Structure 1
């Protein structure tokens, strides 16, 4: 697998998770989506942060 392909996919998944988490958080705050538990939104945001950290270290440290 090409290094730049992996970086692009990780960045795309990071954007999707972060965008979805923020959108759900805003919609829940406006009381439109009140049935979604806060834990689900927290897991989405934590997953995005973890993926961002992984993507950063993969780009900076794992240069084969």
Structure 2
């Protein structure tokens, strides 16, 4: 396999859990320690209109994973 200069050189690490379980704190700390950029996918999806509907039970939007994956 040849290495293409446009290939990702650093990993994507996804931290998932239900709301209010301190994911953000964990992700922020991890990003600092391993020197990666932290992106809140929920905020990103809302800003880019990549959500479907609101979930009253979990107090958050359903992210349209198909749209997010295309970016």
When the two structures are superposed, what TM-score results if normalisation uses the length of structure 2?
Answer: 0.29
* Higher RCO (C-alpha 8 Å, min separation 6): 1
Richer in strand (by share): 2
